[in-house]
Amino acid sequence: MRIRKHDFVLIDDEMKCRLHKIVDMKIKIKKNYINLLFLINKKYGSTFTFINNKWVRSKKNTSKLDIDNNIDIEGTNKDIYYNNNSQKLTEENIHELKENNYENPYEVIQKLVDNSSTFKEKTIISKFKYIEKKLTRHFCQFTI
């Protein structure tokens, strides 16, 4: 079934799930905007990813990252000192990675994890929070 003008759709961006009527209106999804008329004639259940300044239909990516989760639940992060030097990649490198790996944005997150000097020292909960923060910052996707 395809979306028509004046239909109601649920837009799920993994942070919020919102109900919108398809009219000439822009909405914000994470950091990017989309005109709801863009969704006309698209199939329900479609997933779109923001790549190179445009919305592209993609598969819903549920692949896992290759991360070694130590079973060290009792550890703390008190010995980790946060500074700007813990990430070895620069902003230019990250932007270049985003443009090259547009099919699988999880590769960008994996590179960020691999190039973080403090990631291996973090507890499991801190690792999870770090990955969630990077996903919301570098990966914009929604499903209708």
Concatenating the DSSP letter of every residue in 50-112 gives: EETTEEEEE----PPP-------TT--STT----TTSB-S-HHHHHHHHHHT-S-THHHHHHH
The confidence band for 2, taking pLDDT boundaries of 50, 70 and 90, is very high
Higher pLDDT, 129 or 120: 129
Predicted confidence at residue 83, as pLDDT, reads 60
Residue that wins the pLDDT comparison between 8 and 102: 8
The residue type found at 143 is T
pLDDT in tens, 20-55: 999 999 999 888 899 999 999 999 999 888 877 788
pLDDT digits (tens, 9 = 90+) for 77-119: 555 556 656 666 777 777 777 777 655 667 777 888 887 777 7
Q: Which of 49, 144, 45, 34 is nearest to 102 (CA)?
A: 49
| pLDDT value for 51 | 77
At residue 72 the predicted structure's pLDDT band, cuts being 50, 70 and 90, is: low
